[in-house]
Structure 1
Amino acid sequence: MTPLRPARPEFRNIHVFRDLTTYRLPAAGWVSILHRVSGALMFLLLPFVVWMMDASLSSEISYGAFTAAFSAGLGFVPGWFLKLVALALIWAYLHHFVAGVRHLYMDATHKVDKAFGRSSAIATLVVSLALTALLGAKLFGLY
């Protein structure tokens, strides 16, 4: 006679409000979702990138106004908010790049086992967040 084991929860259709708080997504799942979020964020912030490129390269006067926008603000938008938007753009680019390199490496070497997926996902998160912190410190004038 075999002892009865308690039934494990079975998630077929995850309900956003009921199941999402208890569902534990693996690190590779987080990296995959964040890869899509970072791509969407870069797409949505494309007008901001075009404005930064135009303002920084047009002339010396526009470059001065561009740098002043990050310290004094631009219209009703404070400078710290522009820096936060730029920091979000920095994170989106770095995460998207590092996660893309991870996907390309996995495709090229056919490393698709669970252990490598977990370790490379954690490495992706650590590297992208460390680089974001480093460039964010430069953006906010810490060095």
Structure 2
Amino acid sequence: MTIYSTNEAWRAYALARGNVSPTNASDSDASAARQRASDYIRTRYVLPLGLSATADNVIEATHIAAGYELTTPGFWSKTFTPAQQKTLTGVDTIRWTVSENAAMEKGYNAQLPVSPAIDALFGGTSNSGLYLGVIG
């Protein structure tokens, strides 16, 4: 099984940002969250972009993703339809509008949760699912 980083590195990363959750978690819970986060990062970014498992942005993205997984196990494996990506556009008579990005995103990427912080580490994405920018 591919797993990026270590519990110790993730805990140090989180502590530097004032987050003690990984430190307070048991080793088994922290490892399981990192494994699920690594699965997400590997399938959404590393494999499609041909990245190295030791690239700094891969490790940092895994740390960010693991935080979500520790708080909500299974966070990154939730699937949804593009129509679920909505923006509140009216409050007088509650109205939601499907966001343009959701309507344009194609394939499996349109059905996965996303993190703007993680996407930013990989140069962002275009609406076609192609990644733009410098990959480190």
TM-score, normalisation: structure 1: 0.27
Greater fraction strand: 2
Greater fraction helix: 1
Q: RCO higher in 1 or 2 (8 Å CA, sep ≥ 6)?
A: 1
TM-score, normalisation: structure 2: 0.28
Q: Whose radius of gyration is greater, 1 or 2?
A: 1
